[in-house]
């Protein structure tokens, strides 16, 4: 079960801190995570061809495969599209973290999020690292401070943790994330950081993260934009002092299940906090011939602006859902599609065997008024299935993004 009051510091051997250092007017804007032991690293980065300097730095650290000791994140400035000076600033951040914690610069990860195209006020950042470094600790408050320091237009922090009992050991997994706009499959304008004290080989950790990302962060959509700074980082420091997790074992299945559960939770929290969003939309597609078809259909539903606006208007407009399915690129027979809406207020069928169903508009409205609504689709072509998450699209989204730089 996810513990919502714990986060990045829950696993043994991880410390964190978060503070205001002057990049924003008042809110926390610098966070760091430090491991007492060198941690194995796994990562998934944005697919955008335009990559921010911190992403390129982290890709190099990842390729080295030497392990990681520290991570520093600033919010309020993306350090993207800033030319050579942006790369220099990233390196300076890594060097200052290395000095502060007596590690090597290539054992430090960097992340930045905020406005694109503005050079980092590097003096503030360096002084901020010097100020915050002595405050790192392993308590829950430190993890919460770190989670608060990475958010931008988010309206709440996103953190969680889980503990699992393996055959001969207890291991913990913690995480924090940010993101509320520019969210779309194949990474979004989001950052997610996962820590664990389990003993996981870096290749196995990478395999788990890649597979998990496909079913979590790559299955969410707020507005159809993919950003320049996105990344998911997983760090495993082995501080539980347990046996290595071996693929195919019972321990592996238990650990991977918990790892997936935490990342699903964080991904859902990102979408729940979609800029101006009032509803979380979950699309579950069953009965496709292939997993790929199910994913294409589910992502098309939550990614459609017409579907999003229909949910904002609490309109049971099944036609927009069927339309999105039709241009998804998936293989299915429109003449055997079922569509239902589900929320805590009930279940209603609106389309069956490719034909509209007479339904109560009043009941549909009651169901769609809830802040979480699920679209259930069955196409009866096979046994594959997939789930994607999105949110409605509101007037507030336009206001927030229209004023983002001002």
pLDDT, tens digit (0-9, with 9 covering 90-100), for 66-83: 999 999 999 999 999 889
Whether residue 324 has pLDDT greater than 70:
yes
- Pairing label, strands 30-45, 14-19: antiparallel
Cα–Cα–Cα angle for 368, 374, 375, rounded to 5 degrees: 95
Beta-strand runs (E) in 46-157: 68-77, 108-115
Residues 62, 64, 68, 72, CA torsion sign: negative
Whether residue 187 has pLDDT greater than 50:
no
For residues 100-111, give the mean pLDDT: 97
For residues 333-352, give the mean pLDDT: 97
Asked if 167 and 193 touch (Cβ cutoff 8 Å), the reply is no
Whether residue 398 has pLDDT greater than 90:
no
In CATH, the number for domain 14-272 is 3.60.70.12
pLDDT, tens digit (0-9, with 9 covering 90-100), for 230-259: 899 999 999 999 899 999 999 999 999 999
Whether residue 304 has pLDDT greater than 60:
yes
Instruction: Collapse the DSSP code of 114 into the 3-class scheme (helix H, G, I; strand E, B; otherwise coil) and give the result.
Output: strand
Whether residue 406 has pLDDT greater than 50:
no
d(CA 308, CA 278): 11
For residues 8-23, give the mean pLDDT: 97
d(CA 227, CA 268): 18
75: Cβ contacts below 8 Å, ≥ 6 apart: 23, 24, 28, 29, 30, 31, 112, 113, 114, 149, 150, 151, 152, 178
Query: Nearest CA to 89 among 160, 97, 41, 312?
Result: 97
The rounded percent of the chain whose pLDDT value lies above 90 is 77
Asked if 180 and 155 touch (Cβ cutoff 8 Å), the reply is yes
pLDDT value of residue 279? 87
For residues 342-353, give the mean pLDDT: 97
181: Cβ contacts below 8 Å, ≥ 6 apart: 153, 189, 222, 223, 225, 274, 275, 397, 400, 401
Asked if 313 and 394 touch (Cβ cutoff 8 Å), the reply is no
Rg (CA), the chain: 22
**Six-digit token pair at 293?**
């078809």
Asked if 324 and 350 touch (Cβ cutoff 8 Å), the reply is no
Q: In 10 A of CB 70, how many CB atoms?
A: 25
Query: Options 1.20.910.10, 3.90.1750.10, 3.20.20.70, 3.10.20.340; which CATH number does 280-402 get?
Result: 3.10.20.340
Whether residue 405 has pLDDT greater than 70:
no
Active-site positions read 189
CATH 3.60.70.12 spans which residues of the chain? 14-272
Average pLDDT, the chain: 91
pLDDT value of residue 314? 94
Whether residue 222 has pLDDT greater than 80:
no
pLDDT, tens digit (0-9, with 9 covering 90-100), for 265-296: 999 898 887 655 688 899 999 999 999 999 99
pLDDT, tens digit (0-9, with 9 covering 90-100), for 364-386: 999 999 999 999 999 999 999 99
CATH 3.10.20.340 spans which residues of the chain? 280-402
For residues 31-55, give the mean pLDDT: 92
Per the model's pLDDT, the better-predicted residue between 181 and 192 turns out to be 192
């Amino acid at each position: 079960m996810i513990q919502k009051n714990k986060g990045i510091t829950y696993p043994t051997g991880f410390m964190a801190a978060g503070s205001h250092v002057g990049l924003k007017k008042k809110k926390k804007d610098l966070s760091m995570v430090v491991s007492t032991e060198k941690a194995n690293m796994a990562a998934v980065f944005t697919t955008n061809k335009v990559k921010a300097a911190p992403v390129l730095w982290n890709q190099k650290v990842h390729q080295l495969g030497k392990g990681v000791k520290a991570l520093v994140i600033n919010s309020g400035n993306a350090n993207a599209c800033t030319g050579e000076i942006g790369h220099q600033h990233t390196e300076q951040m890594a060097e200052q973290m290395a000095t502060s914690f007596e590690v090597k610069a290539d054992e430090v990860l960097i992340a930045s999020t905020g406005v694109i195209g503005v050079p980092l006020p590097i003096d503030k950042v360096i002084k901020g690292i010097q100020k915050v470094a002595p405050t790192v600790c392993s308590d829950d408050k430190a993890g919460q401070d770190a989670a608060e320091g990475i958010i931008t237009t988010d309206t709440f922090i996103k953190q969680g943790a889980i503990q699992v009992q393996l055959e001969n050991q207890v291991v913990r997994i913690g995480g924090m994330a940010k993101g509320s706009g520019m969210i779309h499959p194949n990474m979004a304008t989001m950052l997610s950081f996962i820590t664990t004290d389990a003993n996981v080989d870096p290749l196995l950790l990478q395999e788990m993260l890649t597979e998990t990302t496909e079913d979590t962060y790559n299955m969410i959509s707020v507005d159809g934009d993919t950003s320049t700074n996105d990344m998911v980082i997983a760090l495993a420091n082995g501080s539980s002092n347990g046996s290595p997790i071996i693929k195919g074992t019972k321990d592996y299945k238990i650990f991977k299940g918990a790892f997936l559960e935490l990342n699903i939770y964080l991904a859902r929290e990102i979408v729940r906090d979609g800029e101006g969003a009032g509803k979380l939309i979950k699309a579950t597609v069953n009965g496709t011939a292939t997993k790929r078809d199910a994913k294409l259909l589910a992502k098309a539903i939550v990614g459609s602006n017409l579907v999003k606006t229909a949910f904002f208007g609490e309109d049971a407009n099944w036609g927009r859902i069927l339309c999105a399915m039709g241009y998804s690129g998936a293989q299915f027979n429109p003449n055997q599609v079922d569509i239902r809406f589900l929320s805590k207020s009930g279940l209603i069928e609106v389309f069956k065997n490719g034909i509209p169903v007479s339904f109560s508009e009043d009941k549909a409205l009651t169901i769609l008024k809830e802040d979480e609504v699920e679209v259930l689709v069955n196409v009866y072509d096979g046994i594959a299935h997939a789930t994607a998450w999105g949110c409605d699209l509101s007037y507030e989204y336009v206001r927030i993004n229209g004023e983002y730089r001002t």
